[in-house]
Amino acid sequence: MHFYAYAPEKYQYPIDRYTMEVKRQLDVLDRHLAENRFMAGDEYTIADMAIHPWYGALVKNRVYEAAEFLEAHTYKNVLRWTEEIDERPAVKRGRMVNRTFGEPHEQLHERHDASDFELRTQDKQ
97 φ/ψ angles, rounded to the nearest 5 degrees: -70, 130
Topology of domain 2-124, CATH: Glutathione S-transferase Yfyf (Class Pi); Chain A, domain 2 (1.20.1050)
Q: How far apart are CA 122 and CA 31, in angstroms?
A: 40
pLDDT of 1 strictly over 70: no
20-42 pLDDT tens trace: 999 999 999 999 999 999 999 99
What residues pair up with 108 in beta bridges, in sequence order?
A: 97
DSSP code at position 3: H
3-state helix, strand, coil in the chain (%, to 5): 60, 5, 35
35-91 pLDDT tens trace: 999 999 999 999 999 999 999 999 999 988 889 999 999 999 999 999 999 999 999
From the list 71, 68, 95, 91, the residue with the least C-alpha distance to 81 is: 91
Instruction: Give the pTM.
Output: 0.86
DSSP letters, 29-52, are: HHHHHHH-SBTTBSS--HHHHHHH
Helix (H, G, I), strand (E, B) or coil at 4: helix
> What residue segments make up the domains of the chain, in order of their start?
2-124
pLDDT of 97 strictly over 90: yes
